[in-house]
Every structure is written in C-alpha cells, then in structure tokens.
A and B are shown apart, each in its own frame.
Chain A
Amino acid sequence: MAMIQSLLAQGFQMMLVLAVAPLVIGIIRKVKARLSRRIGPSIFQPYRDLIRLARKDTVVAHNASWLFLVAPYIVFAAIWVAAALVPTYALGLIFSWSADIIVIVGLLALARFFLALAGLDVGTAFGGIGTSREMMISSLAEPAMLMIVFTLSLLAQSTQLSSIAHYMMTADVGLRVSCGLALLGLVMVTIAENGRVPVDNPATHLELTMVHEAMILEYSGRHLALIELAAALKLTLYLSMLTCVFLPWGIALNGAKLPVLGLGVLIYLIKITVASAVLAAFEVTVAKMRVFRVVDFLNFALMLGLLATLLLFVSRSI
C-alpha cells in the first residue's frame, strides 16, 4: 500500500510538471506583454498552441533520416524524466534517489545532444548555425552549472536534490557568501540554458539572432509541439530547482499526509508563478547581447561558481 502511494506521488509529480510547464511560458509572455503596455495573449495560449501544433500534419524534409524522426521523443523524454526528479511539492519521492543533481545535468546534456544532432540532420545552413552556437553556449554553461552543483553539494554534504533542499530548509544555513554566488550563477545559467533574453530571444524570427529557434527550424507539427513542450519543461525544471534550493519553505517532507501534500502543491504553484513573473520582469529590462558577448556572460557565471566552490574548499578547516 505504501508502495502504491509513493508511486502515485511520483506519478503525480510527473503529471504536475507536464501540466505546469506551458503555464510558465504563458505567465512569462503575459507579464512581458503587460510590462510593455500590451494586453498580450491569455496565459493559457501555450496550451492551445501545443494542441494546434499536435493536430497539424508533420512535414519532414526529403532527406531527413531516422534520427530526425526519433530525436523529439528522446529530447522530450529525457527532459521530462529530469523534471520529474527535481523536487516540486514534496521531498524524497520514491525515485528521487535514482538520480542526483549531477545526473539531472547529464540528462539535460543528453537532450541537448540529440536536439543538436537533429539540427544538423537536414543539412541546412540555419540548422548548422543554430547548433554550433548552442553547443558553444552549452560548453560554457554546463561547467558553470556543475560548479554551482559542487557548491550546493559541498554545503549539504550530498548531491541528492532532496537532501540539499532539506538541508537548506532545516539547518542553520545563515547568510553564506557561497550561497549567494551560487544563486546568482544559477540564475545566469537558467537564462543561458533556456535561451532567454539577453542570451537568446525565444520570440525572434530574425534569422541572424536565432540560436535555439534556428536549430529547430525544420521541425513542424507534432514534433515541434514536443520540442516546444520540452523547452517549457526545461524552464520549469530550472525554476523548480531554483525555488526548491533557495526558497525551500512549504515543500512537504518525506512521508507527509495528504493535506500537507496539497498545501505543498499550492505553495509550489505560487512560487513558480512568482519566479516566472520575476524572470519576465528581468527580461523586459535588458536588451539581447551579441553572440560573442554571451561568452563573457557565461564566463562570469563560471567564475562565480568556481569562486563559490573555492570558498567552500578553503573554509573547510583542517
């Protein structure tokens, strides 16, 4: 019985992130629109877009190979699994120990690897430019992310996200410099990895500035729907990670009762809404960078992560 309950809790989290992901995009678009004095589409518009895309015919280039056809499913599955393993409303779900935070970084790398290959598959110039820039950005963002992972793991003495969140919630963390640096670094990595302004512009269709959009230019119909949903899930994953590590309050603890779990879901929804709104507010205040300025941006994130880790290494007394 306990087994079935924990499986249900895990299954609920998988469905929760899937259901919330388009909403996150919707909220961001709405807030951005309001802040630039437009009315903007409804926050449920991303759901309608996805359904519309999924119902349309899929048009595939003549020379597309099997990799192009399976890549959307692999990308979606890898990101969905990763998002289901990040604590949202409760800690210590039954499969949370099967993957620690390093594995989650690895799963995101797996998704990016296949998406990048799919971008090269048809052999168009846009696919190439998008892929090559995406890999350049990720080759800096991933080490930065791992350095932040190091910082958090050294603080909590664990690489399990559940344990890290639990540590941040209960222990007397206090104001730590490393924590602040890690927070800033993680926000920067979130912006870069999800192709948000100022690194990339998800709304652009101006060819020379596209990165992510250029990579998936050849996709259409249900494949595009899956990739869009995967991108939304990835953003949700990063926001969940940010909130569960740095705003861990309100997450239901291991083995909590149903009302507490319900409260956890509610608090998670509030946190994720606030985080999306803050991200949107940040995006309207900055302008997009040139591609090679992104390098400085990410080097800064990497340095923050490295500094945070070094501080922890050094402050551990003999």
Chain B
Amino acid sequence: MDLPFALCLVSLLIGAAALVAPVAGRSWASVALYGLCLGVSSLLLVIGLWSLVAMGGGAEAPLLWLPLGIPGQGVHFRLDGLSAFFLIVINLAASAASLFAIGSGRHEHAPHRVLPFYPVFLAGMNLVVLANDVYGFLFSWEVMSVASWFLVIAHHRQPENRRAGYVYLIMAALSTQMLLVTFGLLSGFGAHLDFDAIRATPPSLDIARLALLAVVIGTGAKAGLVPLHVWLPLAHPAAPSHVSGLMSGIMTKVAIYGLVRVTFDLLGPPEWTWGAGILLLGGTTAVTGVLYALMQHDLKRLLAYHTVENIGIIAIGLGLALAFRANGFQMGAALALTAALFHVLNHSLFKTLLFLSAGAVLTATGERDLDRLGGLIRGMPITAFCFLVGSAAISALPPLNGFVSEWLALQAILISPELPQWILKFLVPMVGAGLALSAALAAACFVKAFGAAFLGRARTAAAERAVEVERSSLAAMLILVAACVLAGVLPGLVVDALAPVTTLLVGSHLPNQITQPWLTLVATTPERSSYNGLILMVFIALSASLSAFGVHRLASRRRRRAGAWDCGYPETSPATQYTAASFAQPIRRVFASVLFSAREKIDMPAPGDSRAARLTLTIRDPVWALLYRPVAVAVTTAAEIISSALSLSIRQHLGLVYGTLILLLVVLALWQ
C-alpha cells in the first residue's frame, strides 16, 4: 500500500506547483506551499522508514505499473531497500528545508520564480528513486534537472547567476545524454526498458564496461566528481538558500543513487578495475574538493566545494565496495558500502544544515562574503550554534555523525590488504592518506569559515546589526542538529537500517548492532575495532562538568571584562583581524602553489611614496584550462565551420545534398 500512497503524495506536489503558479505573488502563497511541501515530505519520510523497517523483517519490495508514458510500455515503480533508504535521505532534508522556507520564504523578492518549481524539484527527486524502468528514471531525472535549473536562474538579474545557469544547463545535458547511452546499452538498445528485465539479462562484459564509463560520467557530472564538478560551485550558491541546501545535500545524492543502482544492481558482477577507477576518482575528488574550498571566501561557494569533497568520500566507499565484491569478499563489500551510504545520509544532514545556516546569515546581513562578515555569534547565537555543530560534523569530529562514516571507511581500508591485485595494494593506502588529509583540511576550512563569519569583530555595519531569523527557520536548523547528534551517538540504528540495503546489493551485512553491549558500533568483530559515540559523549560531558565544577568550587570563579590583550598592542580597527584569505595563506602556500598555480604579488611603494601597498593573489583552476577550454574551442570552431555552410549559394547547397546522398549510399553498400 505504501508505494501507491507515495506516488499519490508526489502527484500532490506536482498539483500544488500547478495551483501555486498563478497566485505565487500573494503573501500567503509561500507559507501555504512550503507548509504543504513540509507535510508531504514528512509523510514520504514516514513511508521510507516504514518500508525499510518492513524490509529488515523480510518483506518483499512492492511493485506498481501505471499506464503512463510510452504507449504500451507504461511506467514501472518499485520501492526496494535502496529506494526506501534514499527516500528517507531526500525527505528528511526536504522537510527541514521546507520548514526553513516557511519563515524565510517571505524575504524572497521573486516568489513567482521559485514557488512553482520547488515542489516539482522535490517530486522529480522522489520519482527518480522510485522509478523501476528506463523511461521513468530518465523522465524523472530530467524533471529534477530542469526544475533545479529554473531555481538556479531564479535571481537571473545578477550576471553571475546567468552564467551559472548556462554552465549548469550544459553539464545537465551532458549528464542526461550519458545516462541515455548507459540505459541504451543496458536495455539492449530499447528491447526491454524495465529494470527487472535488465536484471534478468545482465549485459555482456564489453557492454557493461562501456555502460559503466557512461554512467560514471552521467551521474558524476550531476554529483560533482572531479573534473565534472565545475558547474556545482557556480550553480548551488546561485539558488535561494533552502534550494542550495537541497541541491547540495540531496540532489547530488540522487546522482549517487543512480550510480549505485546501475553499478551494483543492473550491471551484473563487477570487475576489480571498476572499483579501482571509482576509488581513484573518489580520492582525487575528495582532496581537490577540499583544497578548492579552502581558497574560497564566499560562504555558499565554500560549502558547495565541500559537497565535491564529500561526494569524493562517498565514491571512495563505493569503489572499495566494488573492489571487494569483485574479489568475492562480501563482508568487506558490505562494510565499504555501509560506510558510503552512511556518509550519504550524514552529508545530506549536515550540508543542508550548513546551507540553511548560511541562508540565515544571508537573510540577516545580505552578505555571503566571509571578509565582510564577522562577530555574528553575538547577534545570532542560535544560528552560530547550528553552524558550529554542522562544521564539527562535516570535519569528522567525534561524537558527531560525520566521524562515524569516516571511521567505517577507514575500517574498510584497513581490511583491504586482503585484496589480491597489486594496483589496489598501492592505490588503497594512497586513497586512505587522501581521506585523512581531506578530513584534516576540512577541519581547517571550517575553522576558517566559522571563525571569519561568526567570531571576531564585525567587519561591516550589516554584520554588526544582524539578528536571528524567524522561529520556524531556527527550528528547521535545530531539527537537523538533533539528527546529526543522534546519528553520531546511536550509529548502530542507522547501520542496522542499512542491513537490508547492503544485503540486497552485495549479499551481506554488518553484524547486528542493536544486540551489541552498550550499543557499541562494531565494524567486523569487537576484538578488531569498536566505537561507542554515546559513552564518549557522556564521558566528555561528565569530564567537562566535573572540571567546571572543580575549578569553580575549589579555585576562583571571579571573572572580569577588559580590553583585548593582544601582547599589549590591541588594534581597534576590525580590518586588522585575520580574514578568510589570510587564514588560508599558510595552507595555500603549502598546497595550492603547484595545484592551482596560486601566486602572490606584493606591490610595495618606494620609501617616501605615500600610496597604499597592494597584494594581488591569483588562483587558477587547472580544470578549466586543461579540459573545458579545449572542448569549448573545438565546439566553437565546429560551429563556425558549419555556419559557413549556411551562406552557400543554392547550387552549392544542392551539390552538398547530392554528395551526402552518394556518400551515405556508398557507406550502406560497403556495410552490406
């Protein structure tokens, strides 16, 4: 019963979009629409949870056929463990974002450009994970892409948003084209569009390799795997903040869903090289993503680059799982896949939280530039707390949720010496080092982001005057904070919920966690490794209170306020503080001078000259120069050649047509 109900709810979203379009300008429209989205998402979340629990008990995945779409084919839907898990991921973040928007939606100055597309975007993402045939999947994928594109260009009067929309449109088209190729190959060129039929007749090895290549490009372009990530830091910040949160937090996860669905479910048994390839891509993406993020001083763009990093971490888990599965180590595959899927959930939680907090900052100050913020912790203490928890979670600090998935991924790496292939033996430790490096750099980056935006002294009048946003928006952030903490201290529940998913995909699952003493998380065996976030949190809380009590009771509790010390020379101007750029300078000097050819040029006036000194910093993104520029030049050149054919005379045109005809006939004759 749950699948038809879920589809009814999704159609309710589409209906709401149609209804809200003519009245989007009214003041009540935004509250009503976001309220409806909140209700629908919460119900879909319940359905997802219910189905996953039922499947843990051994229930069958429900199927449904609807006479829509291609005549005679219809559309198939299925709600199996993987779909149910992603349904939870999508709707948990979507309900929080909708709740956030109930309050902050009234600040939107172009509601008619946002409101109709928001529910369609949600509906598209939900449909992608429910679809069980090629047509349904691709159609929903396009609905999701187009709706999100409209949301990206909602504020189209700013030129950089138009550019973002343009780049996004090209990359989204590439993504869908590649998926079309994937499913064309998998479905035997359209012979059987149903996923069940594809599962029944796995493709031959050559076809599977080609399809893998296409699906990695297709979903990688949507998820933001390096070097296909270029649109992401442009497009995600351009949308309204709650939509940015959804694009970064869950649309990239829908792309991961596509990757998992095809590689683990439809492609048949994998080869170890597939795992190695995805592992390498993931490692590169994780490290470069966080290095890009360190160079940013736009808060939302920094967060978008962190999405790239986290997609890399997820890809590392998936690659390891494929490598284990290809070698028949089901336990290792289950561990690596659990780590990847756990990180999918975690990232959807903390990235949505961080984007919503950034949205609150943007609403309160009108600024996204870290170097024009500062001191917000005084005017916006709750938002600061939420951003702090999100930062700690994304930096993989215990006892929050980001640490758990990192820990699981490291455990998976530690059992991988069993893998027999030599390339993997060299690759896996390298990727492990990359994972550790990216976690450490993420912590540095979030110290920078939190420090520049919320700590220190206000750098502008807008930051000085900032106050908290609406109650409902704060509630949305606090719910996500609670979810981050809960998933961190009770990870066993999440791992148990993932058991039916990993059983479905790799035929094994982690040991049952709920029966472990003290709710400890155990990766393989308790002798090997265990982690207990709950006890750790209780211990830290106890020690902190004990030390506070002891110090206050036995020693001094007096506190005086005075001017800052600063070695005796406190500077009064807020401009003398460290900015985001100056904070990143040592790390930039260590890592970016080669990778991004970062150069600093200091222009010192001669002694006696009273003009100001200038520091110019240039950072170049090598991907644009090496990959995209040649492609763009090639496309432009080809277009010029073709357009020159348009100005031919009628005689030359006829000749061209005639020549083409002859050529085709010759080809046909040789083919036969």
Chain A residue nearest to B432 (CB atoms) is A150
Alpha-carbon distance A221/B556, docked complex (angstroms): 8
Bitwise interface map of A from 56 to 96 toward B, beta carbon under 8 Å scored 1, else 0:
11111111011100000110111011001000000000010
Q: In the bound complex, do residue A146 and residue B536 qualify as a contact, i.e. CB atoms below 8 Å apart?
A: no
Q: In the bound complex, do residue A158 and residue B566 qualify as a contact, i.e. CB atoms below 8 Å apart?
A: no
From 341 to 382 in chain B, residues with beta carbon under 8 angstroms from any chain A beta carbon are 374-375, 377-378, 381
Does A272 make an interface contact (CB < 8 A)?
no
Q: In the bound complex, do residue A217 and residue B456 qualify as a contact, i.e. CB atoms below 8 Å apart?
A: no
Does B639 make an interface contact (CB < 8 A)?
no
Alpha-carbon distance A306/B531, docked complex (angstroms): 25
Of A51, A95, A295, the residue contacting B539 (CB under 8 A) is A95
Does B631 make an interface contact (CB < 8 A)?
no
Q: In the bound complex, do residue A139 and residue B441 qualify as a contact, i.e. CB atoms below 8 Å apart?
A: yes
Known: A56-B556, A131-B583, A226-B551. Is A120-B578 also a contact (CB below 8 A)? Answer: yes
Q: In the bound complex, do residue A110 and residue B377 qualify as a contact, i.e. CB atoms below 8 Å apart?
A: no
By a CB distance below 8 angstroms, the chain A residues around B377 are 65-67, 121
Known: A103-B536, A126-B567, A132-B578. Is A143-B395 also a contact (CB below 8 A)? Answer: no
- Which of B428, B565, B586: most chain A Cβ within 10 A? B586
Q: Which of B101-109, B137-145, B183-191, B411-419 contacts A (4 or more CB under 8 A)?
A: B411-419
Q: In the bound complex, do residue B543 and residue A77 qualify as a contact, i.e. CB atoms below 8 Å apart?
A: yes
Alpha-carbon distance A125/B583, docked complex (angstroms): 11
Q: In the bound complex, do residue B539 and residue A147 qualify as a contact, i.e. CB atoms below 8 Å apart?
A: no
Does B664 make an interface contact (CB < 8 A)?
no
Alpha-carbon distance A62/B375, docked complex (angstroms): 12
From 210 to 248 in chain A, residues with beta carbon under 8 angstroms from any chain B beta carbon are 217-218, 220-222, 225-226
Alpha-carbon distance A66/B407, docked complex (angstroms): 31
Alpha-carbon distance A63/B564, docked complex (angstroms): 8
Bitwise interface map of B from 440 to 476 toward A, beta carbon under 8 Å scored 1, else 0:
1101101110111001110000000000000000000
Q: In the bound complex, do residue B577 and residue A125 qualify as a contact, i.e. CB atoms below 8 Å apart?
A: yes
From 102 to 149 in chain A, residues with beta carbon under 8 angstroms from any chain B beta carbon are 102-103, 106-107, 109-110, 112-113, 116-117, 120-129, 131-133, 135-136, 138-143, 146-147
Q: In the bound complex, do residue A62 and residue B561 qualify as a contact, i.e. CB atoms below 8 Å apart?
A: yes
Alpha-carbon distance A136/B531, docked complex (angstroms): 28
Q: How many whole Å from B329's CB to the nearest CB in chain A?
A: 13
By a CB distance below 8 angstroms, the chain A residues around B443 are 109, 112-113, 135, 138-139, 142
Does A207 make an interface contact (CB < 8 A)?
yes
Of B416, B433, B446, B561, the residue contacting A60 (CB under 8 A) is B561
Does A100 make an interface contact (CB < 8 A)?
yes
Does B396 make an interface contact (CB < 8 A)?
yes
Alpha-carbon distance A135/B532, docked complex (angstroms): 27
Chain A residue nearest to B550 (CB atoms) is A54
By a CB distance below 8 angstroms, the chain A residues around B418 are 316
From 501 to 535 in chain B, residues with beta carbon under 8 angstroms from any chain A beta carbon are 518, 520, 526-532, 535
Q: In the bound complex, do residue A159 and residue B564 qualify as a contact, i.e. CB atoms below 8 Å apart?
A: no
Q: In the bound complex, do residue A150 and residue B429 qualify as a contact, i.e. CB atoms below 8 Å apart?
A: yes
Alpha-carbon distance A226/B543, docked complex (angstroms): 12
Categorize the interface residue count of chain A: 35 or more
Interface SS of A by simple majority: helix
Does B72 make an interface contact (CB < 8 A)?
no
Q: How many whole Å from B287's CB to the nearest CB in chain A?
A: 10
Does A33 make an interface contact (CB < 8 A)?
no
Q: In the bound complex, do residue B583 and residue A132 qualify as a contact, i.e. CB atoms below 8 Å apart?
A: yes
Does B213 make an interface contact (CB < 8 A)?
no
Does B619 make an interface contact (CB < 8 A)?
no
Q: How many whole Å from B233's CB to the nearest CB in chain A?
A: 21
Known: A103-B536, A120-B456, A136-B587. Is A113-B397 also a contact (CB below 8 A)? Answer: yes
Chain B residue nearest to A307 (CB atoms) is B429
Does A154 make an interface contact (CB < 8 A)?
yes
Chain A residue nearest to B518 (CB atoms) is A98
By a CB distance below 8 angstroms, the chain A residues around B396 are 106, 109
Q: In the bound complex, do residue A113 and residue B447 qualify as a contact, i.e. CB atoms below 8 Å apart?
A: yes
Of A61, A62, A117, A222, the residue contacting B450 (CB under 8 A) is A117
Does A302 make an interface contact (CB < 8 A)?
yes
Alpha-carbon distance A259/B535, docked complex (angstroms): 30
Does B574 make an interface contact (CB < 8 A)?
yes
Q: How many whole Å from B201's CB to the nearest CB in chain A?
A: 34
Does A153 make an interface contact (CB < 8 A)?
yes
Alpha-carbon distance A189/B448, docked complex (angstroms): 23
Alpha-carbon distance A318/B433, docked complex (angstroms): 23
From 267 to 283 in chain A, residues with beta carbon under 8 angstroms from any chain B beta carbon are none
Q: How many whole Å from A157's CB to the nearest CB in chain B?
A: 7
Q: How many whole Å from A305's CB to the nearest CB in chain B?
A: 8
Does B437 make an interface contact (CB < 8 A)?
yes
Known: A78-B540, A142-B439. Is A73-B548 also a contact (CB below 8 A)? Answer: yes
From 375 to 407 in chain B, residues with beta carbon under 8 angstroms from any chain A beta carbon are 375, 377-378, 381, 384, 388, 392, 395-398, 403, 407
Q: In the bound complex, do residue A159 and residue B411 qualify as a contact, i.e. CB atoms below 8 Å apart?
A: yes
By a CB distance below 8 angstroms, the chain B residues around A121 are 377, 451, 455-456
Does B582 make an interface contact (CB < 8 A)?
yes
By a CB distance below 8 angstroms, the chain A residues around B585 are 132
Of A131, A153, A163, A225, the residue contacting B578 (CB under 8 A) is A131
From 549 to 566 in chain B, residues with beta carbon under 8 angstroms from any chain A beta carbon are 551, 554-566
Does A194 make an interface contact (CB < 8 A)?
no
Alpha-carbon distance A80/B543, docked complex (angstroms): 8
Does B420 make an interface contact (CB < 8 A)?
yes
Known: A102-B410, A120-B456, A123-B374. Is A128-B583 also a contact (CB below 8 A)? Answer: yes
Alpha-carbon distance A207/B441, docked complex (angstroms): 26
Q: How many whole Å from A116's CB to the nearest CB in chain B?
A: 5
Known: A66-B377, A120-B456. Is A61-B564 also a contact (CB below 8 A)? Answer: yes
Chain B residue nearest to A116 (CB atoms) is B447
Q: How many whole Å from A168's CB to the nearest CB in chain B?
A: 16
Does B590 make an interface contact (CB < 8 A)?
yes
Known: A106-B403, A142-B439. Is A58-B375 also a contact (CB below 8 A)? Answer: no
Q: In the bound complex, do residue A100 and residue B589 qualify as a contact, i.e. CB atoms below 8 Å apart?
A: no
Q: How many whole Å from A280's CB to the nearest CB in chain B?
A: 28
Known: A121-B456, A306-B430. Is A109-B414 also a contact (CB below 8 A)? Answer: no
Q: In the bound complex, do residue B566 and residue A125 qualify as a contact, i.e. CB atoms below 8 Å apart?
A: yes
By a CB distance below 8 angstroms, the chain B residues around A201 are none
Alpha-carbon distance A121/B559, docked complex (angstroms): 17
Q: In the bound complex, do residue A97 and residue B457 qualify as a contact, i.e. CB atoms below 8 Å apart?
A: no
Q: In the bound complex, do residue A218 and residue B540 qualify as a contact, i.e. CB atoms below 8 Å apart?
A: no
Chain B residue nearest to A219 (CB atoms) is B565
Q: In the bound complex, do residue A123 and residue B455 qualify as a contact, i.e. CB atoms below 8 Å apart?
A: yes
Q: In the bound complex, do residue B455 and residue A76 qualify as a contact, i.e. CB atoms below 8 Å apart?
A: no
Does A203 make an interface contact (CB < 8 A)?
no
Alpha-carbon distance A78/B392, docked complex (angstroms): 14
Of B388, B429, B551, B555, the residue contacting A306 (CB under 8 A) is B429
By a CB distance below 8 angstroms, the chain A residues around B671 are none
Does B547 make an interface contact (CB < 8 A)?
yes
Of A56, A98, A147, the residue contacting B530 (CB under 8 A) is A98
Chain B residue nearest to A305 (CB atoms) is B433
Alpha-carbon distance A153/B446, docked complex (angstroms): 29
Does B570 make an interface contact (CB < 8 A)?
yes
By a CB distance below 8 angstroms, the chain B residues around A81 are 536, 539-540, 543
Name 14 extra pairs, CB < 8 A, besides A57-B559, A140-B590.
Answer: A61-B564, A73-B547, A77-B543, A77-B547, A80-B543, A100-B530, A103-B536, A109-B397, A128-B582, A132-B582, A136-B586, A222-B557, A309-B429, A310-B429
Residue contacts A-B, CB under 8 angstroms, 5 given: A120-B447, A147-B432, A157-B528, A217-B567, A309-B433
Q: Closest 8 A-B residue pairs measured CB to CB?
A: A128-B578, A123-B456, A120-B451, A54-B555, A77-B544, A98-B532, A136-B586, A77-B543
